[in-house]
């Protein structure tokens, strides 16, 4: 029948109508700003992640403050640990006066309203560059690693972490960390589990930022196979039963179907991490003049939220929050 009775374009006719009928709305409150830091006195621009910086302790405080002023209410910290502090068991994770605990205390004193998320894994601290303890035959030792991760989580909680985020993909670590935290009176410290963390090629620039690439082998025996979606739901079921407060899919953009599936099967908040390779593709294409950088950054994050993410970790967080606030 022509002319048509149904005209969906009516709801697109003006900016006011498009705003009124929009199904998914991205806000600054959805975003988490990842921050890299080291113990050096100077801030270092990252060659592997143009536009990002490995912050000095003082510089990181300024970066966190700018994120908060833009409307970003949470940051997640990733340390580059000096080589002389690394060993095969990541002993430095238990140092109460280490780089992360010192930074947490400084952030909490200066910006108590900012939510502080900490990474729990051994790779930045390990001389082997793996998320767990490496046996002589190259196997990653699950249970021995979990014991160390519990110590790491407790150090971070004592220093002021609001959310502990284990990214290691060891089996049973959520339950063990929950028991350890509760046993020391940290019942209110949340766990954001990297529930479906894939063995992805998109992590390369991040590993360059932290000098945390594996010295031998790869992470395929503990991170998930990129071809699997149903396995993510099994990991979700386990993390829920072990006491996770939030769950995460990583990477985000190439795994929108996994985000949607996880969202459908849980009542917990779902996070997604737009990782370094995703960020770098946008930056590189924009610098070549092929893409509108701001528009593509916004659209990519809107797509991640539309897929079902409640929380999005992205290197564009502070900048995008500023754009959304215009």
Active site residues: 197, 250
CB-neighbour burial class of residue 13 (10 A; exposed 0-12, middle 13-18, buried 19+) = exposed
Distance between alpha carbon 299 and the CA centroid of its chain, in Å?
19
Only one residue has tokens 């390779």, namely 277
| H or E segment and range at residue 118 | strand 115-120
Of 88, 76, 92, nearest in space to 130 by CA: 88
Give the C-alpha separation, 186 to 205, whole Å. Answer: 34
Q: Residues 123, 128, 130, CA angle at the centre, nearest 5°?
A: 35
Is there a contact between 188 and 178 (Cβ–Cβ < 8 Å)? no
Return the number of other C-beta atoms located less than 10 Å from residue 92's C-beta: 22
Residue pair 118/162 in contact by the 8 Å Cβ criterion: no
């Amino acid at each position: 029948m022509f002319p048509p009775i149904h005209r969906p374009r009516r709801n697109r006719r003006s900016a006011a109508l498009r705003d009124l009928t929009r199904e998914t709305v991205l806000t600054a409150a959805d975003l988490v700003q990842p921050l890299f830091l080291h113990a050096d006195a100077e801030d270092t621009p990252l060659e592997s992640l143009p536009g990002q910086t490995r912050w000095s302790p003082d510089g990181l405080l300024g970066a966190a403050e700018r994120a908060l002023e833009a409307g970003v209410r949470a940051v997640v910290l990733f340390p580059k640990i000096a080589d002389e502090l690394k060993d095969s068991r990541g002993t430095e994770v238990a140092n109460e006066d280490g780089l992360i605990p010192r930074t947490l205390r400084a952030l909490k004193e200066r910006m108590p309203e900012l939510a502080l998320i900490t990474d729990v894994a051994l790779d930045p601290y390990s001389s082997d560059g793996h998320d767990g303890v490496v046996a002589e035959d190259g196997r990653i030792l699950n249970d021995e690693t979990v014991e160390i991760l519990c110590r790491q989580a407790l150090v971070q909680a004592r220093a002021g972490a609001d959310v502990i985020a284990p990214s290691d993909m060891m089996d049973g670590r959520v339950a063990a960390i929950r028991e350890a935290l509760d046993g020391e009176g940290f019942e209110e410290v949340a766990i954001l589990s990297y529930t479906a963390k894939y063995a992805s090629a998109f992590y390369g620039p991040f590993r360059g930022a932290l000098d945390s690439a594996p010295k031998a082998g790869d992470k395929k025996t503990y991170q998930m196979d990129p071809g699997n979606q149903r396995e993510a739901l099994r990991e979700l079921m386990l993390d829920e039963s072990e006491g996770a407060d939030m769950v995460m899919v990583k990477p985000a953009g190439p795994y929108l179907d996994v985000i949607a599936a996880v969202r459908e099967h849980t009542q917990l908040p779902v996070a997604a991490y737009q990782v370094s390779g995703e960020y770098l593709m946008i930056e590189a294409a924009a610098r070549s003049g092929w893409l509108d950088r701001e528009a593509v950054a916004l659209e990519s994050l809107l797509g991640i939220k539309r897929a079902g993410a409640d929380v999005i970790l992205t290197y564009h967080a502070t900048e995008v929050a500023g754009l959304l606030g215009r």
